[in-house]
Amino acid sequence: MDVSQLQRKHRDHQTAMLREGFLEDQFNQLQKLQDESSPYFVMEVVTMFFGDSEKLLNSIALVLVGAARVKDVCSNFSNICEAQNQEG
């Protein structure tokens, strides 16, 4: 496969990812910022994004687990209160 075929395949893949919503116009803007002085700019930004995203998603997951426990405790407490209220 020659360079022009690879470039066309890359453009087609990128167009499909934009169409399917995996990429946004910001990705195109990032590519415009990349030049010969910073040939890996997009790769560096995307790598940073994924690193930060992983940390944030892990934090959210921990909070959600904590929230589920709080919900369960509140639900149990509410059930106990209702049971005691019915008993008089």
pLDDT digits (tens, 9 = 90+) for 18-30: 999 999 989 889 9
49 and 22 inside one domain: no
Residues 77, 54 share a domain: yes
| Domain containing residue 4 | 1-33
* Average pLDDT of adjacent 10-residue blocks, the chain of 88 residues: 92 94 90 92 93 91 82 91 77
Q: Are residues 29 and 43 in the same domain?
A: no
Reference 40, options 55, 49, 30, 50; nearest CA is 30
Residues 31 and 42 sit within 8 Å (Cβ to Cβ)? yes
Q: Return d(Cα 52, Cα 60) in angstroms, integer.
A: 12
Task: Domain count for the chain, please give it.
Answer: 2
Note the pLDDT of residue 18: 92
pLDDT at residue 70, as a whole number: 87
- For residues 29 and 45, state if they share a domain: no
Q: Is 40 helix (H, G, I), strand (E, B) or coil?
A: coil
Q: What is the pTM of this model?
A: 0.54
